Chain A
Amino acid sequence: MRKPNSTLAAQPVRRSGAVESRSGWRSRLRAYVHSHRQNARESFQRMVDEPLQSVMTMLVVAIALALPAMLYVGVSSLQQLSGSWDSSAQMTLFLNKGAKDKAIKSLIARLESNTELAEIHYISPGQALDALQDSAGFGEALTLLDENPLPPVLLVVPIGEIEADVPRVEQLVKTLAMEPLVDDVQLDMKWLQRMQQILDIGRQITVLLGGALSLGVLLVVGNTIRLAIESRREEILVVKLVGGTNGFVRRPFLYTGLWYGVCGGLIAWLGVVLGQLWLGTTVTRLAALYQSDFALKSLGLDGMLVLIAFGGILGLVGAGLAVGRHIAQLEP
C-alpha cells in the first residue's frame, strides 16, 4: 500500500462532462472507434475459443446461403443458354403467292432497316421447290404439279438482345404480320416460352428458398446469441452495475452475429465455387455433345461480396433480434 497519490482522490469533481477540452469530441470518437475495434476482436477471439460451436453455426449459415446461390447460378446459366440459342427466335414469313419481285425487294429493304432484325434470308418459290425435290422422295410427286405451290418465304432472325425476351419477340411478330405482303408469320417459340416459364419458376423457387433459409439463419444465429447471452449473464449484470448501457452490453453480441454471418457467407461462396468446379467439367462435356458452348455462369468476386454482405446482414439482424429481447430484461 502506497501513500495516496493525487491521480485518484484529488480529482473526484472532474466529471465526464467537465473533462472535455476543445478536442473532447475527437478523443471521444477515438475511444469509441477503439472500443468497437476491441469488441470486434474480442468477439472473434471468443468464436475461435469455441471452435465447435462456431463452426457449426457458420456451416448452417453457409449451407443456407449456398443453396439459393447455387440455384441462382443454375437459373442464370440457363437464362444465358436460352438467350444464346441461335435459331431460338427465327421467324418464317410466308408472303403472298403472287407477290412481285419488286415488291419483295422493297419489303426486304424495309426489313433491313428494322433495327430489331439481325438477319434476313429470301427463299424464292423456285429455290424452295429445288430444296424440296432434293430431299427425300418428293421429286416424282412434285413434277406432277402444274405450277409451283410454294409461296415466297423470308427467314428473319431478330437481334440477340430480344431473342430471349418473349414479349418483345411477340410484338415483333405482330408488326411483321401487318406487312401487306406477309400472309403469315410462324415462330416456333413454344419451347422458348416453356423454358422461360421454367426459368421463372426457378427464379421464384430461388427467392422462396432464399427467404425461408434466411429466416432459418436469423433463428439459428439468434439462438446461438441467446445461449451466449445466457452463459455471460453474470458478466452482463456486473457491466450494467458499473453503468454499462444496453447498447454497450449488446455490442459484442452484435459483432459475434456479424462474424457468424460474414464467415458463413465466405464458406458459402467457397462451397458454390468448389461445386461449380466439380460440376463444371461434366456440364461442359455434356454441352459439347449438343454443339453448345454452354458453361455454368461463375460466381465471381461480386458473388463473394454479395454472399458476405448478405450473410453479415443476416447475422447482425439475427443477433439484433436476440439481444433486443434478452439483454434489456437482464437487470441487476
Chain B
Amino acid sequence: MIEFDNVSKRYPDGHEALSQVSFALDAGEMAFLTGHSGAGKSTLLKLIMLMERPSGGQLLVNGKSLSRLHKSQIPYYRRRVGVVFQNHQLLFDRSVFDNVALPMQVSGAERRDIERRVRAALDKVGLLSKEKLNPVQLSGGEQQRIGIARAVVHTPRILLADEPTGNLDPELSAEIMTLFEDFRNVGVSVLVATHDIALILAMDERVLTLNQGRLSEAARLAQA
C-alpha cells in the first residue's frame, strides 16, 4: 500500500531529515515508527500526506507514485488517508461533532450518513457524551481523542498517527491501539509514530526505527 524507495528529504535550510529511507507497508499491516526526537518521524508522515515533497527517491501509494499525482487530485487522495496530528489540528470555532464530521463534509456525504458515522467514531474514543461541546472545553487527552475520531470517521485506507497517545494515560493508550488494530484487521494500513516504548513493547507489531533520518527495522521488540 505504502512504499518508500530510497526516499530522502532535505529541508530548504539544508537539513536532511530523511536519508534514503526504504520500506513497504501492506494493506492490513500495522507498524510503529519510532526514534529519538528530531529523528524524522513527523517528516516521514508528512511525505505520505503530501504536506512535504521528497527531495530524492520514490514514494508509491497503492502502486502509484505520489509525485505524479496532479494537484487537483491531492484532495481526493487525502480523503483516503486518516491522520492524527501531533498538534491535534482541531478547529475551535465549532463543536466536537463538527470537528469529527469535517472529513465527511468535504467529500459531500449526506447528513444522515455523517451523523451515524460521527457518533460511531465518537463512541469509539469515548466522547459521545461531549459531541456538543467546544474542543476548548476538553482536556488535552480528550482533544487528542477528537483528533483520533476525525482520523477514522471516514474509514480511510491508510491511517497515520503522529504521537497519538502523547497525552493519554496507559490504559487509554492501549484502548486507542486496540482501535487501530481493529482497522488493521479490516485491511487498513496503519503507521503510528511514537516514542512510547512501553506501548510498543505491549503490542507485538512491526517496528521501524529512525535514527538521524536513517531507517532500520528491528526484530520484533516484544520478542527480544
Of A6-14, A179-187, A280-288, the stretch lying at the interface with chain B is A6-14
Contact A9 B186 (CB under 8 A): yes
Q: Once the chains are docked, how many angstroms separate the CA of A242 from the CA of B83?
A: 8
Contact B110 A27 (CB under 8 A): yes
Residues A31 and B110 in contact in the complex (CB < 8 Å), given A12-B183, A12-B188:
yes
Contact of A241 among B78, B124, B178, B187 (CB under 8 A): B78
Contact of B108 among A2, A28, A237 (CB under 8 A): A28
Determine if B137 is an interface residue (Cβ-Cβ < 8 Å).
Answer: no
Contact of B117 among A8, A16, A27, A35 (CB under 8 A): A8
Determine if A119 is an interface residue (Cβ-Cβ < 8 Å).
Answer: no
Contact A5 B123 (CB under 8 A): yes
Determine if A4 is an interface residue (Cβ-Cβ < 8 Å).
Answer: yes
Taking chain A's interface residues, is the majority helix, strand, or loop, or is none over half, making it mixed? helix
Of A110-118, A195-203, A243-251, the stretch lying at the interface with chain B is A243-251
Could you say which residues of chain A place their CB within 8 Å of the CB of B155? 8-9, 11-12, 14
Contact A13 B186 (CB under 8 A): yes
Contact B187 A16 (CB under 8 A): no
Interface size bucket, B side?
Answer: 35 or more
Determine if A1 is an interface residue (Cβ-Cβ < 8 Å).
Answer: yes
Interface size bucket, A side?
Answer: 35 or more
Contact B186 A10 (CB under 8 A): yes
CB distance from B81 to the nearest CB of A (A): 8
Q: Once the chains are docked, how many angstroms separate the CA of A27 from the CA of B152?
A: 23
Determine if B156 is an interface residue (Cβ-Cβ < 8 Å).
Answer: yes
B interface residues with partner A (beta carbon < 8 Å): 49, 51, 72, 75-80, 83, 85, 89-91, 93, 102-103, 105-111, 116-117, 120-121, 123-126, 150, 152-153, 155-157, 172, 175, 178-179, 182-183, 185-188
Cβ-closest 6 pairs across A and B: A243-B79, A7-B120, A9-B182, A244-B106, A12-B155, A243-B78
